[in-house]
Amino acid sequence: MTSEKALQRAMPWLVTIGLFVFWEALCIVTGVEPFILPRPSLVFETTVQFAPQILHHSLQTLFTTTAGFALGVVGGALLGIAIGASKLVYNGLYPVLIGFNSIPKVAIVPVLVIWFGIGTVPAIITAFVISFFPIVVNVATGLATIEPELRDVLRSLGATKMEILTKIGLPRAMPYLFASLKIAITLAFVGSVIAETVASNEGIGYLMLSASSSYNVPLVFSGLIVVAVMGVLMYAVAVWFERRMTGWAFRGELIS
């Protein structure tokens, strides 16, 4: 039993390490050129070599991502509540939202550049617009799926719409909100890196673009891995918050 648990815990590390070993072996066996696919050991070496630059640019990306994500959480949650609580708002806004979400976000970056110039602001806005849609949908779903019996119990007590929303709707929507945060945070990285690639002189996206234009492919891969690591870390933060805030939704799992 305990060894099984230990194995469960070790699994993510084992798989990650295994992946790198496989990659390394593949490069050695096929003898592929480093500017096509660099070996992980070379990528690691490059990462150490360029550590100060990478740190600078990744902090910039982390900043634009979390800023955009934070806006996405606030905006998404508010809009989700409005859509989930009111049929009228739902009918009016939902089609527009779906249409908006269907636009590839990379297409709006040039527009943002015209409005705000290149740099931090377009990256934050892109991270925001890409991350807020899943939050809206999830929060609205949480509110819309309140059990009718529960609503009847509260209505027959004379509860106002506002009371039904605050006593049942919002707590019920919390697990949905936190589930969406996990999706949204990873999407936010996609948004910010896209914007940095197209229009910035800072951030991991910019670093990768300039590295590839000088054929420093190991540095490109180093940037990719740094983004992935940041994504995983932020995801873990979201999970930690989820468990703390909505432990009830996981029922017995947490206690047993």
| Interface with another protein (CB under 8 A) | 147, 149-150, 152-159, 163, 167-168, 171, 174, 246, 248-249, 251-252
Q: Which is nearer to another protein, 102 or 256 (CB)?
A: 256
| Token pair for 57 | 């640019």
| C-alpha–C-alpha distance, residues 27 and 25, integer Å | 5
Helix or strand run (H / E) with residue 110: helix 109-116
Dist CA 177 CA 85 (whole Å)? 15
- Judged by beta carbon, residue 9 or residue 87, the one nearer another protein is 87
Who contacts 112 (Cβ-Cβ below 8 Å, separation ≥6)? Answer: 121, 122, 125, 126, 195, 199
Collapsing DSSP to helix, strand or coil, 159 comes out as coil
**Beta-carbon count within 10 A of 215 CB:** 10
Min separation Cβ 20 and another protein, Å: 42
Q: Are 197 and 25 in contact (CB under 8 A)?
A: no
| Distance of closest approach, residue 163 Cβ to another protein, in angstroms | 6
CB 181 → another protein: shortest distance, Å? 18
Amino acid at 89: V
Of the pair 111, 245, the CB lying nearest another protein is at 245
CA distances from 217 to 35, 48, 68, 71, 224 (A): 5, 15, 29, 34, 11
Nearest distance in Å: CB 162, another protein = 11
Query: What's the min distance (Å) between Cβ of 178 and another protein?
Result: 13
Q: By C-beta, is 56 or 167 nearer to another protein? A: 167
Nearer to another protein, 31 or 252 (CB): 252
**What's the sign of the alpha-carbon dihedral 183, 68, 239, 75?**
negative
Cβ distance to another protein smaller for residue 85 or 199: 85
The answer to whether the beta carbons of residues 204 and 227 sit under 8 Å apart is: yes
Q: How far is the CB of 124 from another protein (least distance, A)?
A: 33
Nearest distance in Å: CB 171, another protein: 5
- 56 or 151, CB closer to another protein? 151
